[in-house]
Amino acid sequence: MPTTLAPDERVAFVFPGQGSQYVGMGKALYDASAAARQVFQQADSVLGFSLTKLMFEGPGDELEDTINAQPAILTFSIACLAAMKEKWTELGNAVQPLYVAGHSLGEYTALVAAEALDFGEALRLVRERGRLMKESSEDRPGGMAAVVGLDRETLQSICDEAAELGLIVVANTNTADQMVISGELSALDRAVELARGRGARAVVPLRISIASHSPLMQQAALHLAEVIASLDLKDPVTPMVANIQGRILTTAEEIRQHMASQLTLPVEWTHSVQGMIQSGVDTFVEIGPGQVLSRLIRKISRDVRAMALGDAELSGK
């Protein structure tokens, strides 16, 4: 709960990525928080259609479409942040994080939280990001699969072997033994088969028809870089820890360069979290839908505290 953070805790705010969306997300928060309600209403106004209706009522397959899922997750996460700040202001104990970070799409939320990017601009940007990714996947179909129980070296050798059938890469390192592979379907199928044969505890194809964080997104990344180049980015008020090599971004130019390449390069989440811990963070607050990141952080380190603030925690329901 928001009231349980002590003044001396060294906090990082972290924001989830695609896959965390669900029908009904944000409804309780909309009803409970005036600050969150304002965020939802702004999103509908900026996008020119009722994103909130899609979030609250579905249908699920339409919400899962990347062109809708991305702005929905961004909106809900920023609404949670607004509701959290509203509560903390009432209690007189607002918390200033040492760092912000996001998992893939969550980096756009982190930029808004760090006041480097305006929420309206971010919404338009992730909507376009979703459109470009969808377009790329239609040209070169791909997919992703989560692999649990193998180390990075073993998984890389599997990708190398499967690459004779097409492009395949390690796309996300979420913990030391939980990763995601991404690539063309024939190579992905082969890598899934090999991973099971090498003793993976679980191999789960993801419900996504896009090979994110792989070279298959190169065309989308080039177009997105053009859009990002024209944005009014500001130096972040709070440093952002990037997915790529856990780099700490403190200027608008560093952010611009990172976000232009983010779509094709792997998400090194473990590295990012470890970097924040080494820099003094002892408490991680996941803000947005689900609890994926806080669970991953607990696996990465047992010495830190990780909590999730979403609909239930912030609406009191």
Active site residues: 104, 213
**CA distance linking residue 114 with residue 240, whole number of Å:** 7
Helical segments of the chain, H only:
27-32, 34-47, 51-57, 60-64, 66-91, 106-113, 119-139, 152-162, 185-197, 218-229, 252-261, 269-278, 292-300, 311-315
Q: Cα(185)–Cα(244) distance, rounded to whole angstroms?
A: 25
User: Could you tell me if 73 and 20 are in contact, meaning their C-beta atoms sit under 8 angstroms apart?
Assistant: yes
Distance CA 248, CA 300 (A): 19
CA-based nearest residue to 113, from 233, 197, 237: 237
